[in-house]
Amino acid sequence: MTEAVILTGCLTKMAVVPGHPARYTLRVGEHRLDLNARLGRPLRLTWTGAIACTHCGRATKKSFGQGHCYPCFKKLAQCDTCIMKPELCHFFQGTCREPDWGERHCFQPHVVYLANASGLKVGITRGTQVPTRWLDQGAVQALPILEVDSRQQSGFVEVLFKEEVSDRTNWRSMLKGETQDIALVAARDRLLDRLSAGLANLRERFGIEAIRELDEVPRAFDYPVLEYPRKVVSHNLDKARQVAGTLLGIKGQYLILDSGVINLRKFTGYEVAVTA
Ligand SMILES: [Zn+2]
């Protein structure tokens, strides 16, 4: 069904499941909208001016750390610097903001992977977060290469890999769909070889079994995109409250409209009216 609808509520990141192509669901408050069914049709998002913290629900003038109020941003372990830079984990100093949360989320097996969203990159994720993590990045290929016991260990491994490979995605190239296929198994073997001394050091530190090589096959992903933009122009609800256009595609957490692209994740917690 593709009749016109108006939904109002706070944005959360789109739900996405793999498929040919991946299937995206827009989440606005309690409302759900199948976005694949809206391809080629007009879509409008209007920010009401309100932002609600995704953790406590409190109204906030500004969003901190993708959808939090300032008190939550300063208080929650998931907003701490060590989430982005796990090698800075300070749990063992007794200063974790929420030790229980840390035990549930950080002291769990993590995967180090290679992915291709705009070229070869290395990344880490909790074992349960794949393949969502890759779809959220707009990766067209991914290969888990190592499994480790904790988030901190995955951070040390990632720091090591960064000597040889980027950990960033160029979101403009990702959105232009210019990505070339990469032989990920060969890239893995080359990197494991080049970094073998560094990996041996980490195994000496954390135990021989702490960093385990995985023997997986590369995954491939495709996205519901009718047409990639030649030039990437981005919408920003903080500057213009209304974003409207024809929906040409969805990739990563971006909507591709004929009028420009919008990273919905950046506007988590923003209360919007969606007309589709
Ligand atoms: Zn809050």
Look at residue 3 in the predicted model and tell me its pLDDT.
62
Cα of 55 vs centre of ligand 1, distance in Å, is 5
Cα of 67 vs centre of ligand 1, distance in Å, is 8
The series of mean pLDDT values per 10 residues for the chain, 276 residues long, is 80 96 97 97 97 96 95 96 94 95 94 97 91 96 96 96 96 94 98 97 94 96 97 96 97 98 97 96
Cα of 75 vs centre of ligand 1, distance in Å, is 9
HEC string for the chain: CCCCCEEEEEEEEEEEECCCCCEEEEEECCEEEECHHHCCCEEEEEEEEEEECCCCCCECCCCECCCECHHHHHHCHHHCHHHHCHHHCCHHHCCCCCHHHHHHHCCCCEEEEEEECCCEEEEEEEHHHCCHHHHHHCCCEEEEEEEECCHHHHHHHHHHHCCCCECCCCHHHHHHCCCCCCCHHHHHHHHHHHCHHHHHHHHHHHCCCCEEECCCCCEECCCCECCCCCCCCECCCCCCCEEEEEEEEEECCEEEECCEEEEHHHHCCEEEEEEC
Cα of 276 vs centre of ligand 1, distance in Å, is 30
pLDDT tens for residues 61-107? 999 999 999 999 999 999 999 999 999 999 999 999 999 999 999 99
pTM: 0.93
